[in-house]
Structure 1
Amino acid sequence: MNKSNDYKRVFDHFDEDNNGMVSPSELHRRVGIICHEQVLIEDVQVLVDSLHGNKVGGHELGFDDFVSLMESDNDDDKVEDLRKAFRLYENDGTDCITPKSLNRMLDRLGESRSVDECAGMISQFDLNGDGVLNFDEFKAMML
């Protein structure tokens, strides 16, 4: 798996208006969809601003900024937290998140979706096209 190509695919997914930049609002919407919880736009703006020397407002992420953001969160504690979260979703022993395992977890969280809807959610971040999410794809999605 080519990490640069994977990042580019995720970046292109976040870049909703295809202008070659990810705005704080685009990042906010995608993170909210992925995390299934309320993320404050102000928190996203602070994150984006921090990549630009803490100068406030008006910044967007180019591809290099996006890669820096993805790779800045690769410390051991965060990776271990992601592994724990991954195991919750991958509870059928396949070492990947399947549409059925995602469906079961969402049901437990009170976010009922059909297996087909779960397959669609997975396909948005399935970088190698195998219909499931492995840990690297999950990590790219979450970071």
Structure 2
Amino acid sequence: MSTTPTPKPSPVVNHDELQKVFNQFDANKDGKISVTELRDVLKTMGSSCSEDELKRVLEDIDTDRDGFIDLSEFSALCRSSSDEVTAALELRDAFDLYDQDKNGLISTNELHLVLNRLGMKCSVDDCAKMIKSVDSDGDGSVNFEEFQKMMSASLMSNDKGSKP
């Protein structure tokens, strides 16, 4: 007997569920999530972020600028588009694919290695030129912020199509 799968309902988070999740982040139970608590939870979930990345995340979420995430700010974060969260995670995964030594930078050699593994035959010189074209701080490598800008610019040019 064949049955048609029922579509999964959209996730609706009620206040009690939201409070439980918030409480898991709020390790010291002071009613707010600090940058340290955020780092610890992300680390537990398998994500490794630098202190600067954590501070940027906190700044984005912390609308009242008190240095902490309260329940209402956390709630707003949970209501944010899951597409945006998914896209951000996919971008981080893509960056991590190239960052072979996990130092937060994509070097010419790492780019060369990964592109060749993916079947794209590029010389080291070609890879150096690619790195240089997006290396805004001039350190000879691409950091995550530069990678984000490069990918955003790439997506924007693809969205515009081939208009003269």
**Range into which the TM-score falls when normalised by the shorter chain:** 0.3 to 0.5
Larger Cα Rg: Structure 1 or Structure 2? 2
When normalised by structure 1's length, the TM-score is: 0.45
When normalised by structure 2's length, the TM-score is: 0.40
Higher RCO (C-alpha 8 Å, min separation 6): 1
